[in-house]
Structure 1
Amino acid sequence: MSIKTKAAKLRFDLSGYYFFGLIFLVLLGFWPSYFAKFFNGTADFSFYFHFHAGVLILWMSLLIVQPILIRKKRLDIHRLLGKGSYLLIPLIFISIILLTHSRLPHQRQLSDDHLVGTFNSVKDLVILAVAFFIAIKYVKDFQLHARGMIVTGLAFIEPAFIRFTLRVISDPMMAYVATILTVYAVIIYLIYLERKQASARWVFPLVLSLYVIAHGMVIFDILYYPFWRNFVTWFAGLPLTIN
């Protein structure tokens, strides 16, 4: 294999180190609204929020540790921790569903923010589901497995970054556009880096397409059609959480 060919490949075994940046982004986005409140004594969050934060912290830790284990050639520990993902991913899904439901008014009319917020949760669930399905279906194909796991980490960028941009940009729509363009830039950069990869190049373009479709539905006001309001109203009426 030539040096040129090696240089064209993404180093997935180094992704764990890059995911430390994801922790910084999460702290940047959620510090004022979550983490800082534990220091000033104003933390009054529900169980659903703590549950959601806890399982996501565990998942981010897994995304950091697993590639490092591969790099250190500790495949035995890597496989053992990988089995834990079969439990952790369902817990993440449950936490997102419960947290989303707890934020909806059960006996009041839904606002536009409720419609958009619920859709963003569904969008995140779809991205995570597709990414994890790829990672597990192709668990013996390192190139595809690694890409699937990386996408599960990329799904955290938008929720964290939008909270930061909303503090910097006063116009919510401009903050939203800045956020989604940042997400697109990261994925497009990964597509560019692997442009000479011989196989498995379809994962990042697929995920980019899903993001474009989801964001297009928000920008072009499709979420305000009766079918989505009816769905969110039905979902809010389910006896899942206690306000």
Structure 2
Amino acid sequence: MKQAGIAGSVDMVGKKKAGNVKIRNRRITHIYYITSVIYMTVMVILGFWPSYFGQLFGDFPARNWIIHLHAVIFTGWLMLLLVQVSLVAVGNTKFHRKLGIAGGTYGFLILALGLAAAFVLPIENIESGLWSIDEAASFLILPLGDMLIFSGFFGAALYYRGKMELHKRLMLVASVMLVFPAVARMFGEENIPGLLLFWLFPIIAGIILDGILNRKVHPAFLVGLAVLLLSVGRVVVWETEAWLHFARALLRIFL
């Protein structure tokens, strides 16, 4: 009888300890997601500060209205993401799911404006004489590739929205893809290692955190890291005649 009581006490202590670890891990995970979104927002502001955000404090930059709308909507995406991860952190998953319906529509708006801006910017540069049509055609592979990869991970996140662990990682990977243009402006082609490290840092941190807290890495992070790394290979293709021929044909539709 005494031994049974001791065993029961040990079992209760073990369960309490496991519960405390689970609560701690959940808290750390929430901090990770909130910090990752803030980090991405800072990267976007820094990356686009010289060419866009900084100019807002002087003469308003004379750009096509699509570029301005694109900037507002893309920045708003990060704000929405911050609200969503914060709602989960405070336990308000009910409102998180309701807001997620609007977030799904917002994601399609991101895609539409991303595609529009992908053509507006190079066409403006061609018409102003800043770029040749080949330079514009070469550039086009970057925003089109960004939108293709974003739409893939975003679509998968919507499809698996009922699987929380998978959904939140897919959504993070999709958002990291959107940060690429900002980080690329900070590092350029001269510092590819720095570009990759700062761009992919949220995913790398997530992989490390998974390994520490869960003793295994979620496949969504591994697939995301692999796809985003492979996407850098676009620079091998962007000056090939095959791509230039295709991209020139796309641009001439609007010229």
Cα shift at 1:5: 7.1
Query: What number of residue pairs does the alignment pair up?
Result: 231
Shift in Å at residue 235 of structure 1?
1.5
Is residue 77 from structure 1 mapped to residue 95 from structure 2 by the alignment? yes
The correspondence for 1:211, drawn from 228, 232, 236, is 228
* SS across alignment from 2:191: helix
Is structure 2 residue 154 aligned with structure 1 residue 137? Answer: no
Name the counterpart of 1:201. 218
Give 1:70-219 correspondences, 5 Å limit.
Answer: 70-105=88-123, 109-112=132-135, 114-165=136-187, 172-195=188-211, 197=214, 201-218=218-235
CA distance in 2, matches of 1:32, 1:162: 13
Matched, 1:45 2:68: no
TM-score (ref. length: structure 1): 0.82
The answer on whether the counterparts of 2:137 and 2:248 sit within 8 Å (CA) in structure 1 is no
Change (3 A) 1:30 1:233: same
Residue number among 49, 58, 83 corresponding to 1:31 in the alignment: 49
Under a length normalisation based on structure 2, what TM-score does the superposition of the two structures give? 0.78
SS at match of 2:63: coil
**What is the rounded CA distance, in whole Å, between the counterparts of 2:137 and 2:74 in structure 1?**
23
Deviation at 1:84, TM superposition (A): 0.7
Cα RMSD, aligned residues only: 2.7
Q: Structure 1, unaligned stretches of length 5 or more?
A: 166-171
CA deviations 1:38-96 (Å, max 9, x no partner) are 22114112111111111112211111001111122222321221001222111111111
The CA distance in 1 between the partners of 2:194 and 2:96, in whole Å, is 36
Describe the SS at the equivalent of 2:122. Answer: coil
Partner of 1:169: none
Amino acid at match of 2:195: T
Q: Which amino acid in structure 1 is aligned with residue 78 of structure 2?
A: M
Report the CA distance between 1:4 and its aligned residue.
Answer: 6.4
Q: Distance in 2 between matches of 1:44 and 1:101?
A: 17
The 3 A distance-change label for structure 1 pair 43 and 202 is same
Higher mean alpha-carbon deviation, 137-146 vs 16-25, is at 16-25
The secondary structure found in structure 1 opposite 2:49 is helix
Q: Which has the larger radius of gyration?
A: 2
Task: Tell me if structure 2 keeps the 8 A contact 1:37–1:43.
Answer: yes
Q: List gaps (5 residues or longer) in structure 2.
A: 1-14
**Residue pair 1:148, 1:203 contacting (<8 A) in 2 also:** yes
How much identity, in percent, do the aligned residues show?
21
1:204, CA displacement in angstroms?
A: 1.3
- Residue 222 of structure 1 deviates from its aligned partner by 2.3
- Bigger relative contact order (CA 8 A; separation at least 6): 1
**2: CA distance between counterparts of 1:79 and 1:118?**
35
SS of match in other structure, 2:162: coil
CA contact (8 A) 2:207 2:217 kept: no
- TM-superposed CA distance for 1:199, in Å, is 7.4
